[in-house]
Amino acid sequence: MADYVLEVENVDKVYGQGETSVQALRNISFRVRKGEFMLIVGSSGSGKSTLLNMIGLLDRPTKGKVIIDGIDTSTLNDNQLSTFRNSKLGFIFQFSNLLSDLTVLENVILPRKIQGTLENAEEEARTLLRTVGLESQMHKFANKISGGQAQRVAITRALINKPTIVLADEPTGNLDSLSAETTVHLLKSLNRKLNQTFIVVTHDSPQFGDVDKVVTLKDGKIVEGELEASMI
């Protein structure tokens, strides 16, 4: 049986009610295996961010299910959902969102502090920072490093809880071309080295080269011909 870490089943998302309602997602279904690198692509307003919010458990579907590691998340209450999100998901955003009054190392450890699982956290953070080439930067304050370095810190922070899935929302969107290329290379390297599942929303899919799956959205639906490819 396939080792699926994510199953999105017939997901709809409607905002508002009555005549003012807007259907942002329509009958979205796909599955992702452990260790796959998947892109979500589409033009502005296609539903990419809404879909990422559903997968990231930041919002609930109007209809359908999001199943992560075999758990139907629609059965969880808000507190359970928050705990589940913190343990199962890592997030990378367009802006690194580091805390400037903390060092690089402290920023990486922060999710473990929030989760209350600090045992071996510093050692593991140091190891990850060495893996992404930031060993010499770990004691610098976050506002004293470059944008490309800050995004590498954000990637490391997303990995510290050993998440089932890392979700990245336009992770290269705020970077110059060289830093963007470095970030893409790093994400794909970590995908292979750690067998880490990545789901990336991007408007620039060519820069990622070959990936395991691509889900293309248009008007809240998976584009005809992409559904089958995304289920492989």
> What tens digit of pLDDT does each residue of 160-199 get?
999 999 999 999 888 888 888 999 999 999 999 999 999 9
Average pLDDT over residues 29-52: 93
* 156 phi-psi bin (left φ>0, alpha ψ -120 to 50, beta other): alpha
- Tell me: pLDDT of 232 over 50: no
Query: Does pLDDT of 38 surpass 60?
Result: yes
What is the C-alpha to C-alpha distance for residues 162 and 190, in angstroms, rounded to an integer? 12
In a domain, 13, yes or no: yes
Q: Give 38-107 as a DSSP string.
A: EEEE-STTSSHHHHHHHHTTSS--SEEEEEETTEEGGGS-HHHHHHHHHHHEEEE-SS----TTSBHHHH
Host domain of residue 179: 4-98+162-231
Of the chain, the percentage scoring pLDDT greater than 70 comes to 95
Give which of 47, 23, 20, 34 is closest to 226, Cα–Cα. Answer: 47
193 lies in a domain?
yes
Mean pLDDT, the chain, rounded, equals 90
Looking at the predicted structure, is the pLDDT value of residue 224 above 70? Answer: no
Domain harbouring 36, CATH code:
3.40.50.300
The better pLDDT of the pair 229, 176 is held by 176
Q: Is position 122 within any domain?
A: no
Q: Which amino acid is at 71?
A: I
Give pTM, 2 decimals. 0.90
Instruction: Kindly state the average pLDDT of the residues 25-43.
Output: 95
- With bands split at pLDDT 50, 70 and 90, how would you rate the model's confidence at 227? very low
Placement of tokens 């296609």 in the chain: 46
Q: pLDDT value at position 225?
A: 54
Say if 53 falls within a structural domain. Answer: yes
Question: Could you tell me if residue 20 is inside a domain?
Answer: yes
* 223 assigned to some structural domain: yes
Mean pLDDT of 24-46: 94
